[in-house]
Amino acid sequence: MFQTMRNAWKVPDLRKKIIYTLILLVIFRLGSCIPVPLLDPMQLQGLFDAENSLFGFIDIMSGGAFSNATIFAMGITPYINASIIMQLLCVAIPVLERMQKEGEDGRKKIAQIQRYATIVLALIQAIGLFFLLKNSNAIEASVNPFLAALMIIVTLSAGTAFLMWLGEQITEKGVGNGISLIIFAGIVSRIPSMAVSMYNYMLGGTTYVIGTVVLLIVALLVIGLVVMMNEAERRIPVQYAKRVVGRKMYGGQSTHIPIKVASAGVIPIIFAMSILSFPGTVAAFFGKSAASGGFWGGFLKILSPDNWFYGVLYFLLILFFTYFYTAIQFNPIEMANNMKKSGGFIPGIRPGRPTSDYITKVLSKITMAGAIFLGFIAVLPIFMNMALDIKNFAIGGTSLLIVVGVALETVKQLESQMLMRHYKGFLE
């Protein structure tokens, strides 16, 4: 990876793109230090635990901007939600599905709809946050309520809209996927606070030092496992029959259908996390928590990450959503029909229905392996924190998946761009 970065830096065009990307990421980090007017950061930090609600997830993705009450407090989360919703709608609504298949023009229309959906979701989330902050006395009492609402809602929504624009500029003129790199920068920026947390933990004595060493070893093993599983794929061989058209012969070549083990990425984890954190997030709007007592207190205590039941339910939801999302992304019947139309077949499998059944069977096995992997990576930090009692461990399983995935994808894009330029140093 470092060799690729060094070779890319030697290419003037790529060097300009890398510098442009770094400048925009610095702007993102600077914006994460600009506070929202009329908010008290000290009151805001007491609203949530970094591992206990959807707000904690937003704070990790925004690089601490949420807990510090800055203009990028909501991060890029509304854009991610809008993207997931659009992917689901493109499968459910025929008009959007046709638009998606229209090529570049169709994708531009869908991207425009996604931008509008992002603004709407950002406004809804900002309004909800305003009422939460108001009920928690995190807003200055001396200010007119209407002006405070207008200022906070507009500022938070504008921050998300600016981040969306920033990500699109990186994608268009920089290197890599802009939205992913913004999330990457936010997560990586939490490493210093995580290091301080681990240092304070080690001050407890020899037992805590051993626990920290074990944690670091496990973290390195998890990173290696994430890299291996992120690159793993099952290749289904496909053979194309020879056919003669006029004086030319077509087909007769062998290829394969690559099916990635972790094709769903972190989306099942985000879905599962959103569902499990929804009761606690809604309860926070009404001033309820696990310490409130009564029915709601007991219910929220069960859904707390400190409870083993939370880890088990989290794992099962990830399994479900991995299968659900994979079923949306892959259509074995359509794949089999396309192969049949182009004269392709899987060796030893008849075209048509047998081919689709075979692809479904292979896909089911691969999806199970990917689902177990995602579930294991997601729940491992929860049980590690319960065993070692380390608080505010910012880099969890989801964060590792995102960081490693974005790093690998960015390096691949650099390699492909250098291949397009026939860069001699890289080809050697």
Model confidence over 185-215: pLDDT tens digits? 888 887 787 777 777 777 777 777 787 787 7
Q: Confirm if 207 and 389 have CB atoms less than 8 A apart.
A: no
Find the mean pLDDT for residues 406-426: 71
> Comparing C-alpha atoms, which of 41, 56, 284, 280 is closest to residue 139?
41
Q: Name the range with the highest mean pLDDT among 22-26, 43-47, 192-196, 216-220.
A: 22-26
The pLDDT value recorded for residue 38 is 78
How many CB atoms neighbour CB 214 within 10 A? 13
- Structure-model confidence comparison of residues 398 and 6, the more confident one: 6
Residue 219 has pLDDT above 80, yes or no: no
CA 48 to chain centre: 21
**Residue 249's pLDDT band (boundaries 50, 70, 90)?**
low
Task: With H, G, I as helix, E, B as strand and everything else as coil, classify residue 139.
Answer: strand
Residue 43 has pLDDT above 80, yes or no: no
How far is Cα 62 from Cα 399, in angstroms, rounded to an integer? 12
Q: Per the structure block, which two tokens stand in for 202?
A: 């080690």
**Residue 390's pLDDT band (boundaries 50, 70, 90)?**
low
How far is Cα 357 from Cα 354, in angstroms, rounded to an integer? 5
CA dihedral for 150, 137, 310, 306, sign (positive or negative): positive
Residue-wise pLDDT tens digits, 320-355: 888 888 887 788 888 888 888 877 888 888 888 888
The pLDDT value recorded for residue 290 is 62
Alpha helices in 330-396, H assignment, sequence order: 332-341, 353-388
Q: Per the structure block, which two tokens stand in for 235?
A: 């290749």
The pLDDT value recorded for residue 162 is 93
Report which residue type is found at 188: V
> Comparing C-alpha atoms, which of 61, 29, 16 is closest to residue 166?
29
Report which residue type is found at 138: A
How far is Cα 403 from Cα 186, in angstroms, rounded to an integer? 10
The pLDDT value recorded for residue 427 is 46
Residue 58 has pLDDT above 70, yes or no: no
The pLDDT value recorded for residue 423 is 47
Find the mean pLDDT for residues 161-165: 92
How far is Cα 426 from Cα 153, in angstroms, rounded to an integer? 49
**Residue 50's pLDDT band (boundaries 50, 70, 90)?**
very low
Domain ranges in the chain are: 1-190, 193-393
Q: Per the structure block, which two tokens stand in for 197?
A: 């947390």
Domains 1-190 and 193-393 share a fold: yes
Residue 52 has pLDDT above 50, yes or no: no
How far is Cα 35 from Cα 153, in angstroms, rounded to an integer? 14
> Comparing C-alpha atoms, which of 254, 259, 263, 260 is closest to residue 346?
254
Q: Per the structure block, which two tokens stand in for 10?
A: 């030697």
Find the mean pLDDT for residues 64-78: 79
Find the mean pLDDT for residues 153-182: 89
Share of the chain above pLDDT 70, in %: 79
The pLDDT value recorded for residue 386 is 67
The pLDDT value recorded for residue 286 is 66
How far is Cα 410 from Cα 176, in angstroms, rounded to an integer? 5
Mean pLDDT of the chain: 78
Which of the residue ranges 43-57, 86-100, 242-256 would you say has the lowest mean pLDDT?
Answer: 43-57
Judged on CB neighbours under 10 Å (0-12, 13-18, 19+), 13 is exposed
Q: Per the structure block, which two tokens stand in for 320?
A: 């479900």
How far is Cα 396 from Cα 219, in angstroms, rounded to an integer? 9
Which of the residue ranges 100-114, 142-156, 186-200 would you say has the lowest mean pLDDT?
Answer: 186-200
Mutual angle of helices 206-231 and 353-388, in 10-degree steps: 170
Report which residue type is found at 277: S
The CATH homologous superfamily for domain 193-393 is SecY subunit domain (1.10.3370.10)
Find the mean pLDDT for residues 292-303: 71
The pLDDT value recorded for residue 304 is 72
- Structure-model confidence comparison of residues 64 and 130, the more confident one: 130
Q: What Å distances lie between residue 287 and 46, 136, 200, 282, CA to CA?
A: 12, 8, 31, 9
The CATH-assigned architecture of domain 1-190 is: Orthogonal Bundle (1.10)
